[in-house]
Structure 1
């Protein structure tokens, strides 16, 4: 069978039926990745997989982005549409888990419809001129191993499309004022006070406009607006740009990120700033910041400086202040979202390469050591997956710095065991991050094997008298498997998004 890989284009100009066909392809690829990783095993024939429960056979084209699924039945292969694939996977999940019904099937369909709406919106809009913003707003497919990476809560597109990074959105944020005696904050939130002017006796409290729409009618917010505990001051003058995380916005003029609560399920979680996470945030951020400061560059941690909210609506109205990029960047470097490299975007440094060897070695040298050092020296587990990593490149496109973000995802030893922390680090850094880019390089540059360079970089932290030595490296390089997160099963069983469960994957790092 021919090996034809699906390669999404960075800025599709599609209309009508072409849009629907492209949306099916974008939505099918991560869905198939989940099915083949979590419920199937490969057979000898290229592209053919057998379902572990029931033994049915599925055939796909492509490896990194599988497409064109077929089901073997009645002695022949039958092509599955996206709708049929959703129904087939739901049936397999019912058989394998015993869970009779799930909201996931609707989310998978919603995710596909969101992609179609995004493609139509992008065809009529202009991308940002700044390469960093273009990279943040480039993720049409999204998480390559999530069954519904683009689901937006099932609501009509008119409700979410104005705030969608993938549609090149930019918009003002809404400014509220909370009575000062009811304001709750921790850390450095002074940047919020520069966004406007609160009346005497009040503190400024910005809110994502989509979140305000979602929550304004709830009694806790409605009553506070009615009795004066909250005031609506109107929108900001300057627009903000939604990043790939959707609820995190960036103001280039102010070089500031703000992260908001958003009462919508995106991938595995309702994206609220949960109180229990906020109460641990300062300790996690301080420990991570200290770990990066001890390295003395060039890697950087984008600090979550502090949060502010209203005590009577702690989670609904919380806003988190995060460092901008400018104060951390190597002079002359251009920051780019690492996740965007996998999908492609106008300005990607990979488009200039004819031989990826030097680029990949430089990439690994910037990304891997800071994460391993933070774990070895400080007991800090940085969630270094693709969407939490910003890679800065020089004028030739060569990586010269890595910047990491999101203190909410940080784990600290001994709050988690060393074994659990290491497993999480390996999943985020190796499986989610490096394996995706390694597969991309192998696809774009036939004959390339990116994994020996990864082994060499890891071996620099294997043994030795210094505090950066990690005995776990030897076991990692000898293990036949790596941990792959089971997002399909997690969502089908409605498990907590933080309750990571893993399935063993073949380890490309293992010595032959």
Structure 2
């Protein structure tokens, strides 16, 4: 792989990395803690003051979108707390608030912060990709802005995961395995896999993520010949923001692997039940994008071995070239929200026109898929790519991940709509709107969102524009109570759309 090892650091540099890692880790932890648990109090504009209901303590922070500098009121004075102290505070409050103990999540919070420190150190000596698309995918040092441990890597040693970290600008060859033909399980179009290497007679080619191979025990299958090693790919794969989904530019292909590591809410395996329904959900999403210039990156099929169905599964996803408008450059929406060198959001000379163009590309395909095809896209920041012309204006949206797609009537319409609103409006548009407003404080982004939504003839739109609240996912409470990662629970958030 092409990543220089983290260099030795002096005291000043180590202190700087520690402070920056704390800042990156504190912001999302505070975001979800303040959203889900704390009670806001009136106070001066420069500080946001909250009462913690479990203990009655007062907590104040600076900033709104990315809160910082947390302080707790102790003996009549405000005391600054660092990330480690904040983890202890949050854990104590959650025990009081829920009546439930959890020893895993505090460790994940610490792991997430330590991961950021390792990434900052490695990133200082790594070379960012020239391709702006890959640069956007590998830009997420903070990650999910409303998760208590967005960068946790399973608590393993740094040497085990750093070579595969997108945030450190990693790229690496895939391991090639041969799977004995009588043990192969596949569905859909997996022919693209056969182009990345060669398998001997009696075997089928199966690319594997080298990190996953370090995590699972396949020794019996290698011993009896069900699996053989065939070297590595002749080209590098680039990890995207999803970590286990890799981009192979030379083959114009994405491959998604199982990864037996908890990342945000879930162990990131390709679960059997999801794979078995993949063809149906992907076909429905493909049909929903059959017209118009928005694109769906199809999950064409999967290949695996029946003796390690989930562990070795690899999913084949469309590349970009066959979908992008000529001359356009695709970028990850989450990268726009967090920021990266060359982001067109930074160069928007007319932010109102830029924002209206963005909404015109992103919103209609999601609503049309729901209204006309019963397809509930998971159109959050990490599943949405937005393509820009040479002037930096949004001209196309591309969506991905059939695993996250829900279909009506498999889910009730009201539940599907709630999920759509959370993913599209709360997770996605609100973050881009806030990032744009930070750069252009005179811009109110929400009237344009209201206008775009009002253009669509869906019975739910009027209610959305008048509702006092939007659904906010409770990632902190979900993890603290060990709920299933797919079991989304929401709390009401003030609705910025509810205007005249």
**Shorter-chain TM-score category?**
over 0.9
| Aligned position for 2:6 | none
Does residue 307 of structure 2 align to residue 309 of structure 1?
no
| Matched position secondary structure for 1:312 | helix
CA distance in structure 2 between the aligned counterparts of 1:143 and 1:166, rounded to whole angstroms: 13
1:2-21 superposed matches below 5 A = 15-21=13-19
Inter-partner Cα distance in structure 2 for 1:416 and 1:55: 40
5 Å matches for 1:420-435? 420-435=415-430
Question: After TM superposition, which residue ranges in structure 1, 4 or more long, deviate above 6 angstroms?
Answer: none
Q: Is the 8 A contact 1:102 1:493 kept in 2?
A: no
- In structure 1, what is the equivalent of residue 168 of structure 2? 167
Calculate the aligned-residue CA RMSD, in Å.
0.9
Superposed CA deviations along residues 408-457 of structure 1, whole A, max 9, x for unmatched, are 00000010000100000000000000011111112111121000000000
2:246 to 246, 249, 255: 249
Q: Distance in 1 between matches of 2:387 and 2:434?
A: 21
Structure 1 position 54, deviation (Å): 3.4
Q: CA deviation at 1:44?
A: 1.3
From 367, 376, 381, the counterpart of 2:371: 376
**273-282 or 350-359, which moves further after superposition?**
350-359
Cα deviation, 1:440-477, whole Å, max 9, x if unaligned, reads 1121111210000000000001xxxxxxx211000111
**Aligned: 1:326 with 2:315:** no
User: Do structure 1's residue 67 and structure 2's residue 64 form an aligned pair?
Assistant: no
Find the aligned partners of 1:439 and 1:329 in 2 and give their Cα distance: 27
Q: How does 1:60-459 map to 2 (within 5 A)?
A: 60-215=61-216, 218=217, 221-293=218-290, 296-459=291-454
> 1:122, 1:344 → 2: CA distance?
15
1:499 corresponds to which of 454, 474, 487: 487
Contact 2:192 2:316 (C-alpha < 8 Å) held by counterparts? yes
Cα distance in 2 for partners of 1:443, 1:63 equals 10
Give 5+ residue unaligned stretches, structure 1.
1-13, 462-468
2: CA distance between counterparts of 1:73 and 1:383?
Answer: 43
What does residue 465 of structure 2 align with? 477
Residues 303 and 405 in structure 1, CA contact (< 8 A), matched pair in contact too = yes
**Partner Cα distance (1:410, 1:100) in 2:** 33
CA distance in 2 between counterparts of 1:124 and 1:101 reads 37
Equivalent position of 1:489 in the other structure: 477
Most deviating of 421-430 and 34-43: 34-43
Question: What is the number of residues matched between the two proteins?
Answer: 486
Distance 2:200 2:148 in 1: 47
Preserved CA contact (<8 Å) 2:164 2:239: yes
Q: Secondary structure at the match of 1:320?
A: strand
Secondary structure (helix, strand or coil) at the match of 1:181 reads helix
Distance 1:188 1:506 in 2: 45
| 1:51 positional shift | 2.1
Query: Structure 2 regions of 5+ residues with no counterpart?
Result: 1-11
SS of residue paired to 1:155: coil
Tell me by how many angstroms 1:16 deviates. Answer: 2.0
More displaced 10-residue stretch of structure 1: 14-23 or 74-83:
14-23
1:397: Cα distance to partner?
0.3
Which whole-Å CA distance do the structure 1 matches of 2:486 and 2:59 have between them?
31
What SS does the corresponding residue of 1:352 show, helix, strand or coil?
coil
Q: Is the 8 A contact 1:174 1:208 kept in 2?
A: yes
**Equivalent pair of 2:346/2:439 in contact (CA under 8 Å):** no
User: Take 1:236 and 1:397, find their aligned partners in 2: how far apart are those partners?
Assistant: 35
Cα distance in 2 for partners of 1:415, 1:492 equals 28
TM-score (structure 1 length as normaliser): 0.94
Q: How far 1:186 sits from its partner (Å)? A: 0.2
Q: CA deviation at 1:102?
A: 2.9
Contact 2:102–2:481 (CA under 8 A) maintained in structure 1 = no
Whole-angstrom distance in 1 between the partners of 2:378 and 2:493:
19
Q: CA deviation at 1:101?
A: 2.6
User: 1:55 deviation in Å?
Assistant: 2.9
Once residues 189 and 383 of structure 1 are traced to their aligned partners in structure 2, the CA distance between those partners, rounded to angstroms, is: 24
- CA distance, structure 2, for counterparts of residue 326 and residue 397 of structure 1: 19
